[in-house]
Amino acid sequence: MFVLSLALALGAAACAKKKSDGGKKEGAAGKVGEGGGEDDARAHAKPRQGGQLVLPAGSGGASEPTYLNPILETSFTRANALIFEGLVGLSSTLEPVPVLAESWQSSPDGKKLTFKLRSGVKWQDGKPFTSKDVQFTFQSIRDTTKATLWKTYFAAVDKLETPDEHTVVVSYAHPYAPALIAWTVGIIPAHVYGGGKLADSKGNKEPVGTGPFRLSRWEPGKQLLFEANTSWWNGRPNLDQVTLRVDTQDPLKALRAGEVDFTQVPDVQVWSTEAQVPDFRADFEVATVHGSLFRMFGWNVQRAPFDDKQVRLALTLALNRSRVIEDVFLSQAQAISAPMFPNMIGPDPSIAPHPFDLSKASALLDEAGKKAGPNGRFSVQVITVASQKNPPTEEMFAIFRRDYAAIGIDLKVEYLSSKDFSDRVVMRDFDAVYLGWFPDIPDPDPSALLHSSQIKVGQNFAGYSDPEVDKLLEAAVATSNRDERKALYQKLHAKLHADLPYTVLYAPYTHFAWSRRVHGVSPDDIGPQPRFPGLAGWWVE
């Protein structure tokens, strides 16, 4: 399952390959995966305990949680990751690492996972963490009628057993490749969230987790304040306090004013100018993340003429994506050739994006019977959400509109409210949709976007159905063999490059800046898929 990105602020990398003035270093002994510094001199500075860190609650600005509950919160917010932990976490390279489970074992047939839980772990209220809490979390995901990202990932579970307080045995109806990584879901305590409907629990506002920080105060519309969990099983966090601001409208201005210590820099023009001058760099560290987010057109393949893959190829060839990347995004984006994540297994690097070629596009349309008449050929109505209406998007569409007009196509863009957009998608009342896409777990499975079963109940916006694609998707998710999965996804890549139910426009880079008083920083630590141990490894002078 993947998350539809409806706001530019969700451009933070979910699964990232980072370039920075400094890198994530291995840190002090005795803590799992602790972070280091920004350059050689600073990397060898000894982490100190104490101090406060202030940062926006989400990427690019405000992101106040609805629920302090990792099961129910569907929007990206940094709050839940401070409080809750999964059985497994993510390393800097997106590999699973032990967190609440100290070890795990998979059966030879790939249908059973056995977790050995850490002993001595306590909830932030002092009560012991046990396998019963894992059972409760799993059952809560199954039972809730509220929207949750996790229901799909546990649909293949046949049963979950807890033979003792420190053992969890998960049996699957069939082999399921994302089985282990799905257990990054935050575990919630039965004694706090049980006893009624999950959405009504007091824990949603007064949370109790096992993580490195505990909520001390929530000022709605303003900020959330956290204090160090001095009894954290992995050792006391370096920071005393963390404040998440939800009222930050101009993150870079807030950073300059000292109101926050870390922020995303969402405006590429500002990043390429203001954030590069010597005065700025003297006070702030910066990093660029090449992440998993990409933006694309989804063609309505159930509507003529978009049901013809030759027409879709022509429409793709007529999009000057390289110019958009260079002129609009100042080369702070990359071109990719299919809706597959370049930093995960699967994409075939030998398959290049289709080039910009108006002559070939025009010839293909002629061959498809869409010859130009006195009023051109046909129109293309693209729908997207109103939050996407910003100068870069408008400039991008202006470039596309001029090139389409040159071959007789009238490109129209309609900005809609989120509700109207969803209604139009459900009714399939569009020619194309413009949307962003990123994973909610670091697994390459794109079934939600492509499998025929997801046309009516999922996020297969294109309405694309192909038996070969369905088989490739099903086979890839049913094997835990990395090489086998990669080979299957490369076949899928070739098929999608030819069929073009989606045309990927660009994959933006994401930029960050932070005060030089803050050390041990990697933006991935607090992204939508936070690395372990996250903010617990950061420290301030």
**Contact present, 41 and 519 (Cβ < 8 Å):** no
- Examine residue 61 and state whether it is found in any structural domain, yes or no: no
- Examine residue 429 and state whether it is found in any structural domain, yes or no: yes
Nearest to 8 by CA among 64, 73, 58: 58
Whether the link from the prior residue into 467 is cis, omega within 30° of 0, is no
- Examine residue 331 and state whether it is found in any structural domain, yes or no: yes
- Examine residue 426 and state whether it is found in any structural domain, yes or no: yes
Nearest to 87 by CA among 106, 108, 73, 104: 104
**Contact present, 450 and 473 (Cβ < 8 Å):** yes
Residues 169 and 105: their CA atoms lie apart, in Å, by 10
Mean pLDDT of the chain: 90
- Examine residue 224 and state whether it is found in any structural domain, yes or no: no
Could you tell me the two tokens for 40? 């050689």
- Burial group, residue 426, by CB count within 10 angstroms (0-12, 13-18, 19+): exposed
Provide the CB-side half-sphere exposure for 537 (13 A, CA).
28
* Ramachandran area for residue 258 (φ above 0: left; ψ -120 to 50: alpha; else beta): left
What pLDDT score does 343 carry?
82
- Examine residue 320 and state whether it is found in any structural domain, yes or no: yes
Least confident of 26-30, 233-237, 244-248, 401-405: 26-30
- Taking only the tens place, the pLDDT of each residue in 101-156 is 999 999 999 999 999 999 999 999 999 999 999 999 999 999 999 989 899 899 99
- Taking only the tens place, the pLDDT of each residue in 167-189 is 999 999 999 999 999 999 999 99
**Residues with Cβ < 8 Å from 155, sequence gap 6 or more?**
none
- On the question of pLDDT at 447 being above 80, the answer is yes
The residue to which tokens 């302090």 are assigned: 68
What pLDDT score does 43 carry?
53
Q: What is the CATH number of the domain that holds 470?
A: 3.10.105.10
Residue type, 112: K
**Contact present, 183 and 156 (Cβ < 8 Å):** no
Nearest to 238 by CA among 207, 208, 212: 212
Could you tell me the two tokens for 191? 């004694």
- Look up the domain containing 483 and give its range: 294-509
Supply the pTM of this predicted model. 0.86
**Contact present, 492 and 351 (Cβ < 8 Å):** no
**Contact present, 340 and 349 (Cβ < 8 Å):** no
More confident residue, 207 or 195: 207
- Taking only the tens place, the pLDDT of each residue in 347-370 is 999 999 999 999 999 999 999 999
What pLDDT score does 10 carry?
31
- Examine residue 437 and state whether it is found in any structural domain, yes or no: yes
- Examine residue 351 and state whether it is found in any structural domain, yes or no: yes
Task: Find the DSSP H helices in 113-229.
Answer: 131-143, 190-193
Residues 13 and 524: their CA atoms lie apart, in Å, by 7
What is the mean pLDDT of the segment spanning 289-299? 93
What pLDDT score does 44 carry?
57
- On the question of pLDDT at 525 being above 80, the answer is yes
Residues belonging to the chain: 541
What pLDDT score does 136 carry?
98
More confident residue, 12 or 236: 236
What is the mean pLDDT of the segment spanning 377-404? 96
First vs last C-alpha separation in the chain: 41
- On the question of pLDDT at 1 being above 80, the answer is no
What pLDDT score does 61 carry?
58
Residues 293 and 15: their CA atoms lie apart, in Å, by 9
Nearest to 536 by CA among 32, 46, 17, 87: 32
How many structural domains are present in the chain?
Answer: 1
More confident residue, 53 or 12: 53
- Taking only the tens place, the pLDDT of each residue in 27-46 is 322 334 433 344 444 555 78
- On the question of pLDDT at 11 being above 70, the answer is no
Question: DSSP readout, 410-467?
Answer: EEEEEEE-HHHHHHHHHTT--SEEEEEEEESSS----HHHH-TTHHHHS--TT----H
Strand, helix or coil at 235?
coil
